[in-house]
Chain A
Amino acid sequence: MKNKIKVYRAMHDLSQEALANEVGVTRQTILAIENGKYDPSLILAARIARFFKVRIDDVFLLETIDE
C-alpha cells in the first residue's frame, strides 16, 4: 500500500514526531508507514486522514491485493 503521508506532513509543516503525537503512535510507526514497511490499521489510517482533514483514500492508495 502506498501513501502520501510525507506529502501531507510537508504541506502542514509537521515532523514525524508531531504527527505521531497527534495520532497516538510512536515516531517509528510513522516512519515505517512512510517507508511502506508497515500497513496501518483502518483506525490509524482514519485518524491520520482525519488529522489532515482529507479522506482515507486521499492519503492511502491500495495498489495490489497481495494478502
Chain B
Amino acid sequence: MKRNYFYLCVAAVAFFEVAIFWLSVEIADPLPSVIAIIIGILGIYLAKGNIDEVIEDERTQKITEITALRTLQITWIGLFLFALWIIIEALGEGIRRFNRPLGIFGFRLLLLLCGIIVLYVILSLYYNKKYGA
C-alpha cells in the first residue's frame, strides 16, 4: 500500500467515525461510537502494517517520545494547578461552608493525577527491566 493511499484510508475512517458519532447522538446511545472507534483504531493499525514505504523511523519515534513526555508533563502540571485552585475555592470560606461538589471534584482530580504517577512508575519499572536495568 502506498503512503498516500494510507492517508486516504485514515481520512475515510475519520469520516466514518463522525457519521457514527452523529448516529449515536440521534439514537442517544454511546455504544455505536465506542465500537466504531475501536474498529477504526484496529483498521488504521492493520493498514499501517501494509504500507510499502517507510513513514516511521527512529527520528519520528524520538519526536513522538519527546512530544508525548512534554504533553504529559504540561497536562499534569496544568491539571494539578487546576485541582489545587478548585480545592482552595471550595475550602475558601472555611470548612463549615465547604463547597462539597466542587471540593469532591477537586479531590477526585488529584486522585486521578496520583493514578497517572502510579501508572508512570509501573511503566517506568517495566521498561527499565526490559532495557537491562
Chain A nearest Cβ from B55, distance in angstroms: 7
Chain A nearest Cβ from B60, distance in angstroms: 7
- Answer whether residue A18 sits at the interface, using C-beta atoms and an 8 A cutoff: no
| Pair B54/A40 contact, Cβ less than 8 Å | no
Count of residues in A whose CB is under 8 Å from the partner chain: 12
- Answer whether residue A38 sits at the interface, using C-beta atoms and an 8 A cutoff: yes
| Pair A38/B54 contact, Cβ less than 8 Å | no
The A-contacting residues of B in range 55-76, CB under 8 angstroms, are: 55-60, 62
Count of residues in B whose CB is under 8 Å from the partner chain: 8
Q: Tell me the complex Cα distance, A21–B3, Å.
A: 14
Chain A nearest Cβ from B61, distance in angstroms: 10
Contacts of B60 in A (CB 8 A): 26, 29
Q: Which of A25, A32, A41 contacts B54 (CB 8 A)?
A: A25
Q: Tell me the complex Cα distance, A20–B60, Å.
A: 14
The A-contacting residues of B in range 3-23, CB under 8 angstroms, are: none
- B62's closest neighbor in chain A, by CB? A38
Chain B nearest Cβ from A43, distance in angstroms: 8
- Answer whether residue A15 sits at the interface, using C-beta atoms and an 8 A cutoff: no
- Answer whether residue A24 sits at the interface, using C-beta atoms and an 8 A cutoff: yes
The B-contacting residues of A in range 1-56, CB under 8 angstroms, are: 20-21, 24-26, 28-29, 32, 38, 40-41, 44
Chain B residues at the A interface, C-beta cutoff of 8 Å: 54-60, 62
25 inter-chain pairs at a CB distance below 8 angstroms, sorted by A residue, are A20-B54, A21-B54, A24-B54, A24-B57, A25-B54, A25-B57, A25-B58, A25-B59, A26-B54, A26-B55, A26-B56, A26-B57, A26-B59, A26-B60, A28-B59, A29-B57, A29-B58, A29-B59, A29-B60, A32-B59, A38-B59, A38-B62, A40-B58, A41-B58, A44-B58
4 new A-B contacts at CB < 8 Å, known A24-B57, A38-B62, A44-B58: A26-B56, A26-B57, A40-B58, A41-B58
